[in-house]
Every structure is written in structure tokens, then in C-alpha cells.
Amino acid sequence: MPFPFGKSQKSPAEIVRSLKENVAYLEKVDAGDKEVSKNLASLKEILSGTGDKEPHTEAVAQLAQELYNTDLLISLIANLQRIDFEGKKDVVHLFSNIVRRQIGTRTPTVEYICAHTQILFMLLKGYESAEMALNCGMMLRECLRHEPLARTVLFSEDFYCFFRFVELSTFDIASDAFASFKDLLTRHKIMCADFLENNYDKVFTEYEKLLHSDNYVTKRQSLKLLGELLLDRHNFSVMTKYISRAENLKLMMNMLRDNSRNIQFEAFHVFKVFVANPNKTQPVLDILLKNQTKLMEFLSHFQTDRSEDEQFCDEKNYLIKQIRDLKRPVAPEEA
């Protein structure tokens, strides 16, 4: 049955099959191919319409079905490197659109990817290749909106690659990886809390390296994210664990004195949780007591030019009061 969309007289199924063959050809010749780009452009038109023309629902359904039947998404991502610059963007467009597809409450593409999780890991590994990192990042984040797909990535060993990707020297790629990393750790709250609790040691060992990064942005953004994670009420037990450890307090106290005011400020938002904790562990309390006078002195002069930020000033005054009132618990009587 021919569909009436402009120049292209082929049906969506025909285009998908033709694209599949052309992509297979790419693998052999290892060079860009005009046919692939043309096919991709036609598919993009079917999905989003052109100019004033709305996309044709029936054509979209046929296209989607054929994508699943032929496993075209997998071959496209596997050969993304070989597709030309504009073609890569068309793949992202096609992918994003089809992942969003809904039939009632069902999201068939998400189901398809759940059954073919290699797609997620191919996208993740895409960060290693400069020419397709951002394309893969966009597709990956589209997947991460869906909890089952985010869970697959988060609970996998490959998740730990992100600790490397967010420090890549090419800043645009590192930024994109950080956006995905943040999505993974914050978007689906209950699942994220579950993940952080169950993988606490491994995750925070890696995370601490980011806080020590030589890269200014990595350091600043990961510290900010740490504050957000700890202050999210879903992560209550993770926070409790984090603020029970003296070495974390030491790190934050040192970061309060970082060269960068922005880093000092973000560190303040983590530091305050240690002080506000009504059930401080002994090692934490010891450090605070040892530095009681210094801390009060330090905080009363800390970023005083933020006087217009009322919340910050209130919090600072609260911390000074808390630290002033700190008392060594009465030592238990010797038996």
C-alpha cells in the first residue's frame, strides 16, 4: 500500500529494509554511503512530517514495527561511526522519536530495548569515540528517562565507566557524560536510593576521586551533585552513612578552604549536614570539637559578601550556634 508522503513513494517498511541492507553494506566497505543518509532522511520525514505536513500515524506504526523486526536500531548504532555527520543526527532523531512512542500505557520501544540491552551498553561506550559521543549521549539520555532502562545501566558494571567519562579532557564530551551520570543518579529517586545504599562503598570510593579531580569543572559539579544527593530525603540512609564518617568531614572542611569560592560554597552545603546531625558519631564530634574555636571564627568570616542570600546567612548563623554549643559527652564513669 503506497503512502502519500511527498517525494518518497516507498513504504516505511521498504525504506527500513533498504536502510538495513545499506547499513550492512557500510560494514563491508567501511566508508560513508549516500544511500544510508538518504534512507535516514526519508525515515525522519515519516516520523516528524515535513513543513506543514503532520506525520502519518499508520506509517509511523508500520515503521516502528519494521524497526523491531529487523533489529535496525542495533545495526545503526553499531555502525554509527561510519554514518556521515548529518546522518548521525538523523539516527538520534529517529531513535529519540521511536523511544517515546506510546500505545496506550505501553512503550513498545522501551520493551524492545529491555529485550536487547546491548543497545544501552553500545550507547554508553559511545562516549569513548569523539565523533559520536554526543550522538550516543543524547540517545542514552532518552533511554534513561525510562526506569527499567536506567536500572539496567545503573546496576551494571559499565556504570563505573562514567567516573572516567566525566573527567575526559574534551570538555563537551565530559559535560555530556556528566549530564547522563546525573540523570542516572537522580531521575528515578527510589531506585537511585536503593542503588546508592546497596553499592555505597564502591560508588563513594569512586565518587571521592571526582572530588579530588584536577579538573575544575569536574570538582565543582560533582561536589554540587553530592550536596543534592545527600539533601534529597529519598537518600536519607545514604546521607546518614556519609555523615557518620570522619574522613568525609575532613574532606569537606578542606574544601571549605579551597581556592575557588564556588567550591567553598558547595562544600558548605555538605558540611552543614555534618553539623546539623543530631546523632553525630564520636569521630565526627571529635573533629568538630578539636576545631570548635577555629570553625566559629572561620564561619563568621565565611563569604560575608553573600549577605543578600538570607537562607545562606541563616544557615551559617545556625551552624555557628551549633558549633558553639557542642559539648563533649560526659565520659562514662570508670567502672
Partner 1 sequence: MSFLVSAHEESQESLTSLSRRDTMGSFLPDSSSYELLAVIGRGLDDLMTVNLAQYRPTGEHVAIRRIDLESCTNDMVTYLQGELHVSKLFHHTSILPYKSVFIAENELWVITPFMAFGSARDLICTHFTDGMNELTIAYILLGMLKALEYIHHMGYVHRSVKASHVLVSADGQVCMSGLRSIFSLIRHGQRAKVVHDFPQYSVKVLPWLSPEVLQQNLQGYDSRSDIYSLGITACELANGHVPFKDMPATQMLLEKLNGTVPCLLDTTTIPPEELSLKPSRSGADSGICEGLGAGSIRHSNGEPSSTSAGHPYNRTFSSHFHAFVELCLQREPEKRPSASTLIGHPFFKQIKRRPSEALPELLLPVSPITSCESSRPQDSPSGMASLESGLSHLEVDDWDF
**Where does this chain bind partner 1 (CB under 8 A)?**
47-49, 85-86, 89, 93-100, 128-131, 133-134, 142, 168-172, 175-176, 179, 215-217, 220-221, 224, 246, 250, 253-254, 257-262, 287, 290-291, 294
What's the min distance (Å) between Cβ of 23 and partner 1?
Answer: 19
Reading the block at residue 200, the C-alpha cell is: 555505597
When the beta carbons of 121 and 298 are compared against partner 1, the nearer one is 298
DSSP code, position 106:
B
When the beta carbons of 195 and 242 are compared against partner 1, the nearer one is 242
What's the min distance (Å) between Cβ of 313 and partner 1?
Answer: 18
Closest of 201, 283, 270 to residue 232, by C-alpha? 270
CA angle 134, 177, 209 (to 5 degrees): 155
What's the min distance (Å) between Cβ of 135 and partner 1?
Answer: 8
When the beta carbons of 48 and 156 are compared against partner 1, the nearer one is 48
> What does the alpha-carbon distance between residue 320 and residue 102 come to, in Å, rounded to a whole number?
54
The SS3 assignment for 329 reads coil
The number of residues in the chain equals 335
When the beta carbons of 62 and 221 are compared against partner 1, the nearer one is 221
How many CB atoms within 10 Å of residue 144? 24
What's the min distance (Å) between Cβ of 230 and partner 1?
Answer: 17
End-to-end CA distance of the chain: 93
What's the min distance (Å) between Cβ of 229 and partner 1?
Answer: 16
When the beta carbons of 2 and 307 are compared against partner 1, the nearer one is 307
DSSP code, position 3:
-
What's the min distance (Å) between Cβ of 25 and partner 1?
Answer: 24
Reading the block at residue 325, the C-alpha cell is: 554549643
The residue type at 117: T
When the beta carbons of 197 and 208 are compared against partner 1, the nearer one is 208
